[in-house]
Chain A
Amino acid sequence: MANIQSHSPAAKVGKVITYSVLLVFSCFAVVPLLWLFMNSFKTTQEFMIDKLSLPGQTEGYSATLVNYIDAWTRGKFPTLIMNSVIYTAGTVIMVEVLAIMAGFGFAKLRCKATKVLHGSFVIGILLTIQCIMVPLFLLVNAIGLYNSRLGVLIPYIGISLPMAVYLATEYIKSIPDALVESARIDGASYFGILARIIAPMAKPVAVTVAILTVSSIWNEFMLINILTSDDALKSLPVGINQFAGALTTDYGKQFASLVIGLIPMLAFYLVFRKEITKGVAAGAVKG
C-alpha cells in the first residue's frame, strides 16, 4: 500500500513540498547560530565591513582566534563555568535525593497527609519565579544569605522540586506494591527497600528529572541575577550578560563569548538528545 502511494505523482509532489518546508525551517533555526559562529572568528573591523561573509573573505583580514583568547580571560569564563557547574550539579544531586525520597513516601507509604502535601507540590508546578522573586530576595537578605552559594542553591532546589516530586511519585507508583510488601515480610526496613529496590528501579525517572533540572538551572537568569552581586559567585548567563552585553561595539569579542556560552548546552544536547526529547515531553504532561 505504502509503496503504491509513494510512486504516484501526487505523492511525489507532496514529498518535495514536505522536504522543502522542513529544510527551509531547519535552516532558519540553525543559520543564526552559524552566523554567530562565523563572525566570532572575525575582528570587529572585519565584521563592520561585511557582516554576512565568511571570516577572512574581506581583503586584508584573516580568520582569527584572538576574540576567543581575549574573551576567555577578560570575561572570567573559568570562574563562571565553575560556578554554573557547582550550582547545577548541587541542585541536581539534592533534587534527585529529595524527590525520590518524597516520591517513595507519597507512592508507597500510606498516610492521610499525602493528599495535602502531594497536592501542594502539584500546585507548585504552576507557581512562577515572578510570584516568589521579590519576597525571596527580601527573605534571603533578611537571613543573611545574600551573596552566598547557599543563598542560590536553596532557591534553585526549591523551584525544581515540584515537578521532580510529581514525576518521581508518578513513576514510583507504577512499581508493583508486591515488591515492597514481600521485602517487608522478609524483614527489610523502608530505607533498605528505598536504597536497594526503589532507587535502582527509578533510574528512568531520575534521568528525566536530571535532564529537566540541568536545562532549567544551567540557563537560569532571573533569580541569580538578583540574589548575587559578587563577581566570584556569578553563573554563566549572568556573567555573559554583563561582559558581552557591555561590549556593544566590540562585536568580535561579544560573539566569541556567546559561542563559549552556548557550547556547554550544545554539547549536553547533542549527547543526551534522546533523553532531552523524552524529558521535555514528560515535563509537559501537567499544565
Chain B
Amino acid sequence: MKGGVTKRREHYVTYWVLVLPAFLIYILVMAFPTIYSVVLSLSDYRGGNLFTSDINFVGFDSYKEVIDDQYFYVALKNNLLLVFISVFGQIPLGFIFAYLLSRDMVKHKDFFQTMIYLPSVISTVVIGLLWKSFFSPNGAFVQLIRVFNPSYEAALSSYPFGQVLFVTLWMYVGNYLIIFMANLQKIDSSIIEAAKIDGASEMQVLWHIILPALSGVIVTASILAISGSLKAFDLIYVMTGGGPANRTTVLSIFMYDKAFKGAPNYPVANAISTIMVVISFTLIGITKFIESRVGGRE
C-alpha cells in the first residue's frame, strides 16, 4: 500500500515535470499575449511601462476608429482577394498537379514535384525582393512585356496588387501539391482498378472515387489557405510595403503601421488583430459548414 502511494506521487510529480516547462513557455509567449491583445484593444494604452503605467478601460473606441478608417476597407478587400486566389487558385492548381503526378501517367514524378515545390521553401524575403526587382520599372518584366505588347506596361501601375496576387499564387501552389500528393497515395488503388475494369472512365474515377475520398483534405487545405492568406505579411511588406498610397496594404500591414510606424497606437493595432482573428474563425466556420452540407459523400 505504501509503495502504491509513493508510486502515485512519482507519477504526478513526473507528469508535471514533463509537461510544465513546455506549457509555461506556451502560456508566456502565446496564450497570455493573445488574451492581453484583446485587453489592450479595449484600453487607452499608448506606451510607457507596461506594468506601472496607468491603463484605462475605454470600451470599443478603438474598434470604432478602425471601422471609420478608409484604409481598413482597402486592407480587408485585399485580404479577401488573397483568400480568393488561394482557395480558388492555389488549391485547384495544386490538386491538378498532384493528380497528374500520382495517377502513374508520368515518369520523373520526383523531378516535377521538386521543381514545383521549390518556391515554397525559399525565404519569403528573398522571394519578395526578387519579384520586386523583376516588376520594377528597371526590371525584366517591362523588357519582357515590350516584346509582346507595350501597352500592357500600364497594367502594372494601374493595379499594383495584381503582382502580389500573382507571386502568392506562384509561391504556394507547391504546398498544396504536396498535401494532395500525400493523401492521394492513401487511396486504395485496388478500388480505382476495379472501377476501371468495370469500364469507368478517368473522369468518372476522378469524380466518384478520388474527389469524395479527398473532401476532408480539401477542407483542411482550404482552412490552411484561408488562415494563411489572412496572415500574409512578409511578402507584401518586402515587395510593396503596402504602397503606393496604401493601395496594396493588407490587415497585418495596416496593424504593423499602427503599432510600429510613427506614434504608436497600440489599442487600434490590437483591435485590428482581434478583428483578424474573428474574420479568420468566421471564414473557417463557413468552410466547415459547407463541408457538413456537401462534403463526405461516401
Query: A60 to nearest B CB, angstroms?
Result: 19
B233-A262 in contact (CB<8A)? no
Q: Is B14's CB under 8 angstroms from A109's CB?
A: yes
Contact A101:B227 (CB < 8 A) given known A25-B116, A132-B29? no
Tell me the bound Cα distance from A244 to B251 in angstroms.
Answer: 25
The CA-CA distance from A270 to B130 in the complex, in Å, is 21
Q: Count the A residues whose beta carbon is within 8 Å of the partner chain — how many?
A: 101
CA A29 to CA B119, docked complex, whole Å: 7
Say yes or no for B131: interface residue by CB 8 A criterion.
yes
Which of B29, B106, B238 is close to A245, meaning CB atoms less than 8 Å apart?
B238
Chain B interface main SS type: helix
Query: Which residues of chain A are within 8 angstroms of B22 by Cβ–Cβ distance?
Result: 98-99, 101-102, 121, 161, 165
A255: B residues at CB distance < 8 A = 133
Contact in complex: A52, B143 (CB < 8 Å): yes
Residues 141-197 of B contacting A (Cβ, < 8 Å)? 143-144, 170, 173-175, 178-179, 181-183, 193, 196-197
Interface of A is mostly: helix
Known: A134-B40, A268-B121. A189 touches B33 (CB 8 A): no
Quick one: which of B129, B174, B233, B280 contacts A222, CB cutoff 8 A? Answer: B233
> For residue A74, which residues in chain B have a CB less than 8 angstroms away from its CB?
none
Listed A/B pairs (26) with beta-carbon separation below 8 Å: A25-B93, A26-B112, A29-B173, A50-B143, A51-B138, A101-B21, A101-B22, A105-B15, A109-B11, A113-B19, A124-B31, A128-B231, A129-B233, A130-B277, A135-B34, A135-B37, A154-B28, A158-B28, A194-B18, A219-B124, A265-B122, A277-B113, A280-B178, A280-B179, A281-B183, A287-B219
Residues of B whose CB lies within 8 Å of any CB of A are 10-12, 14-15, 18-19, 21-23, 25-26, 28-34, 36-37, 40, 49-51, 93, 96-97, 100-101, 104-106, 110-119, 121-126, 129-131, 133-134, 136, 138-140, 143-144, 170, 173-175, 178-179, 181-183, 193, 196-197, 219-221, 223-224, 227, 230-231, 233-234, 237-238, 251-252, 255-256, 259-260, 266, 269-270, 273-274, 276-277, 280, 284
Interfacial residues, chain A to chain B (CB-CB below 8 A): 1-2, 14-15, 18-19, 21-22, 25-30, 32-33, 35-36, 48, 50-52, 98-99, 101-102, 104-106, 109-111, 113, 117, 120-121, 124, 126-139, 141-142, 154-155, 157-159, 161-162, 165, 189-191, 194, 215, 218-219, 221-222, 226, 236-238, 240-241, 244-245, 248-249, 251, 254-255, 258, 261-262, 265-266, 268-270, 273, 276-278, 280-281, 284-287
